[in-house]
Each structure stands twice: as structure tokens, then as C-alpha cells.
A and B are shown apart, each in its own frame.
Chain A
Amino acid sequence: MEATAIILTLKLAGLSTLLLMLLALPVSWGLSRWNSPFKSVVQAIVALPLVLPPTVLGFYLLLAFAPDSVIGSWWQSITGERLAFTFEALLLGSVIYSLPFAVQPLHAGFTQLHPHYLETARMLNLPWYTRLRVVVLPAIKPSIFIAAGLSFAHTIGEFGVVLMIGGNIPGETRVVSIALFDHVESLNYASAHMLAAVLLVFSLLLLIALYYLQGKRRLKWNVM
């Protein structure tokens, strides 16, 4: 039972991180090259999950996933199934929930990217995808690692949103944080201790690795 929850959590965090990287890379790049009064509006929207209680997001998602809502009915017309209480619903919720953790490090990375690199690459007449592959991505590699690591860690720590839109289905939506909550609620403190310790140690190790990476990155920038 615990193994199912742990595997599901890793799958959710892994897929969320993958989707977030695909989404956050272009968004952060665009944000770093955009100058408009509306930029602060977009930045604020991206940062909302940082400050809102997860219950706000969970509540709106619950309403949005209902079969008579726009998103819910669209999903049903495509897949023939309902969205709420599915793994896909959790994935969508996690992507929104962890978006700022992916965008902010990447945005910082793109902002710090020295224009000389790009100008040189452009003068060499490299096509945009080659410039991306050989210049931009290698230069911001540490930011990508940090963005991915934080997204992964934050999704593993997700609780309020899952509690509201998950429906607690083993193997589908019952992630570790929910399993832990169930143990506490059913007075099963021994299992709760075990899962809590696993989460604590795992998250701590992940964060140590990220901070180590960040420290190394600063060193690198300084050397250059």
C-alpha cells in the first residue's frame, strides 16, 4: 500500500516536472525578453500559487473539473471520461501549483544570460534551434536543474490541492502526503511516522543537492 503511494507520488512529481520544463522554458524566456506594463500582471499570475492557500486552487479546480464546466466538458468530449478524481486531474493541478517554482529560477537564469553570447551566436548565423541547443541551454543549465528540482520537491509536498480534487483512489490519486494524512486520521501513528520520515529525509536530501548546485553555480559565475 505504501509502495503504491510512493510510486504514484514519484510518477506525479516526475511527469509534472517534465511538463513544467516544457511549459516554463518558453514562458520564462518570453518573460525575460518582454518589456511591457503587463509583464508585472503576468508575473503576478505565475507567482499566485506561492501565496494562495492551496485550498483556493483546489476549490476552483474542483469547480472547473465538473462535467458541466468548460474544462470538464471539453475533457469529457475528448476522452469520454470525467476529469475530476483522475491522475490527469492531479497532474494538471500540480503543474499549476508548482509553476512559480519552475518559472522563477529559469527567469532569473535567462535574465542573467549575458547578451554577448546571443549576439555572437547570431553573428555566426546559427539557426535559432542551434543557438538554443549550443548557447542558451548550456548557459542556463544550473537554473534548469534548480527549476526542475524545486518543481519536483514542491509537487511531492503537495497536499491541500490533492486533498480537495483527488478523491483518495489508491494507485490513481492517493499520493504519499494523503496516505500519511489517512494514517494520522485513523490513529495509525506508527505508519504515519514511517511515511513522514521518508518524506522528510527525501526532501532534505533533494534540497541539499539543490543548494549545493546553487553554491557551485555562483562560484562558476564568479570565475567567469
Chain B
Amino acid sequence: MKASPESLLSPSGLVLSQLLSEPLSIAVAANFAGPLNALLPAFEQATGIQTRVTVGSSGALFAQIQHGAPYDVFLSADSKRPQALVSNALIPANAVTTYAIGQLALVGRVNSVTDHALLADSVRLAIADPDLAPYGRAARELLQASGVWSLLQTRLIRGTNVQQTLQFWQTGNVDAALIAASQCVTYQLDCKPVPALYEPVIQQMAVIVTHNKARTLAGRSLARYLQSTAVQQQLAEMGYRLVADAHNKDPF
């Protein structure tokens, strides 16, 4: 799917950007903020649509949207929250699409999650909170599948999201951290790959459909742009897996 010039026009043939009185408001999960900033200039140039980005945790952004926050597009770090907007009847099911598949990476003084160095009592590993953050859920699955979860569980340091998890490592307060592979690219870190022993992190976006058709259309054109082959190739270089690949393997 490539974003053709026609698809960026509204049905009446007017250029969408002229119908928008204010910039398209995008709420984005922290892990995708860096890539989004890199991708938006090309989108703005192609469509003439101005954007305004709010970065937050998926949970906080979700709560804001549920209570009427004026976002046009919600780029979540998971699929749970966009789907919850659908089941709460706030948006139609077709407003939700997958835009990226995240994967984990390891940063720090160890080579793998089963590295002997990690087993020492004083060595500390940070992950995102498994109950809050999708990358934390993936990290728990990886550690469980690697057979070290019960050993490490009590001394894991939990970040609120994957961004804070990285911050714990960058400030020197932990020895290693399981973070998003995309962060390794964004911050030019020397990361090690980890085996894919976890359910991939399916990042979905929701276009917040309102009575304002122009804003909805502009949101949908951003969704199409992010799913275009060109952008997906770029995302692959930024540490994400191709959405198409995951859909072939995963009936999700």
C-alpha cells in the first residue's frame, strides 16, 4: 500500500490540508516518538497537513482519550488500548490498524539474558513494567522462556515504560536493560539482539473518529502513510519488524 496523491485528497477533491483549521493532533506512545518525528516531515510535505505531537505512556493517553482529549490519532504501544476504544464504542473497529511490530533488544554489560554475569546477586537488570508496558510483557515472556524469570524476578528494576527503562541504564543505575530495538537505533546504542521467545509487540493506532470528517480523513491518511511500503521499509531500519511479515505468521 503506497500513499498515492489521490488517497490524500478528500472526496470532494479539495486538498485536505485546506479543510483543517488546526494541526492534526497525534498522541504517541513514548517508544515511537523518535521514529514518528523522523517520519512526519515527509508526511507533512506530501499532504500539506500540519501535525502536533503529544508524547506519553499508552495508558495515560488512553485515559485522556476516553475522557474526551482532543487527539485525532492515537499511536499506542500495544493493541490492547486501541481495541479497548473500539469495545467501549468510542470508535469503529475499522479505525484501528497495526502500524508497527516492536521487538526487544538488550543493552548493557551482558551478552544475553542467560549470561552468567546476570545471575550474580548484585547485578541489576531493568525491564519495563510487565503489567503496564507491552515491552515489559514481552520482556517477562522472554525471561520466562529463557528459564531465568524466577531467579531474577525479585531484583528486576521496573520502569513505567520502555523509555524510563532505558533511562535507568543511561544514568548508570542498572547494569543492563531489556528495551525496544527501535530505541537502540534512535539513541545509537550498542545493543545485542535477543531470541524471539515472546509474542511480538503489536503496536496499533486508532483514528479518533469525530463529526469532523476532514480530521478523520487526515488521520486515515496518516494511517495509510505509516503502512505504506516506503515507511515500513524505514521502520525496519529503525528496529521494527514489517507489519506484513507479522500478519502472515500471526492470524491476529
CB of B168 within 8 A of CB of A185, answer no
CB of B129 within 8 A of CB of A182, answer yes
In this assembly, does A206 line the interface, its C-beta being within 8 Å of a C-beta of chain B?
A: no
Give A72-112 as 1s and 0s: 1 = Cβ < 8 Å from B's Cβ atoms.
00000000111011000000000000000000000000000
Q: Which residue of A lies closest to B128 (CB)?
A: A168
CB of A62 within 8 A of CB of B171, answer yes
In this assembly, does B12 line the interface, its C-beta being within 8 Å of a C-beta of chain A?
A: no
CB of A186 within 8 A of CB of B131, answer yes
Partner of B160, one of A62, A68, A185: A185
CB of B132 within 8 A of CB of A185, answer yes
Q: Which residue of B lies closest to A83 (CB)?
A: B173
In this assembly, does B119 line the interface, its C-beta being within 8 Å of a C-beta of chain A?
A: no
Partner of B59, one of A81, A85, A167, A184: A184
A56 to B36, CA, bound (A): 27
Within 8 A of A (CB), among B167-201: 167-168, 171-174
Given A182-B129, A185-B59, A186-B131, residue A167 in contact with residue B172 (CB < 8 A): no
In this assembly, does A118 line the interface, its C-beta being within 8 Å of a C-beta of chain B?
A: no
Q: Which residue of A lies closest to B157 (CB)?
A: A167
Q: A181 contacts which chain B residues (CB < 8 A)?
A: 160
In this assembly, does A67 line the interface, its C-beta being within 8 Å of a C-beta of chain B?
A: yes
Q: Which residue of B lies closest to A63 (CB)?
A: B171
Within 8 A of B (CB), among A160-189: 163, 167-169, 181-182, 184-187
Q: B172 contacts which chain A residues (CB < 8 A)?
A: 66-69
A132 to B199, CA, bound (A): 66
Partner of A66, one of B62, B156, B173: B173
| Chain B residues within 8 Å of chain A by Cβ, number | 25
In this assembly, does A65 line the interface, its C-beta being within 8 Å of a C-beta of chain B?
A: yes
Given A168-B160, A187-B59, A187-B84, residue A182 in contact with residue B173 (CB < 8 A): no
A62 to B171, CA, bound (A): 7
CB of A167 within 8 A of CB of B158, answer yes
In this assembly, does B63 line the interface, its C-beta being within 8 Å of a C-beta of chain A?
A: yes
CB of B171 within 8 A of CB of A81, answer no
CB of B158 within 8 A of CB of A185, answer no
Q: A62 contacts which chain B residues (CB < 8 A)?
A: 167, 171, 173
CB of B157 within 8 A of CB of A85, answer yes
Q: Which residue of A lies closest to B121 (CB)?
A: A81
Give B51-78 as 1s and 0s: 1 = Cβ < 8 Å from A's Cβ atoms.
0000001011011000000000000000
CB of B168 within 8 A of CB of A167, answer yes
Partner of B173, one of A85, A184, A185, A187: A85
Q: B49 contacts which chain A residues (CB < 8 A)?
A: none
Q: B156 contacts which chain A residues (CB < 8 A)?
A: 169
In this assembly, does B106 line the interface, its C-beta being within 8 Å of a C-beta of chain A?
A: no
Given A184-B63, A187-B62, residue A168 in contact with residue B129 (CB < 8 A): yes
CB of B124 within 8 A of CB of A163, answer no
In this assembly, does B248 line the interface, its C-beta being within 8 Å of a C-beta of chain A?
A: no
Contact residues of A with B, CB < 8 Å?
62-63, 65-69, 80-82, 84-85, 163, 167-169, 181-182, 184-187
Considering the complex of A and B, which 8 residue pairs feature the smallest CB-CB distances, nearest first?
Answer: A185-B59, A66-B172, A84-B173, A167-B157, A168-B158, A185-B132, A85-B157, A62-B171
4 more A-B contacts (CB under 8 A) besides A167-B157, A169-B155?
A62-B173, A67-B173, A182-B132, A185-B160
List 22 interface pairs A-B (beta carbons < 8 Å), by A numbering. Answer: A62-B171, A62-B173, A65-B173, A66-B172, A69-B172, A82-B122, A82-B124, A82-B173, A85-B124, A85-B157, A167-B157, A168-B157, A168-B158, A168-B160, A169-B156, A169-B157, A185-B59, A185-B160, A186-B131, A187-B62, A187-B63, A187-B81
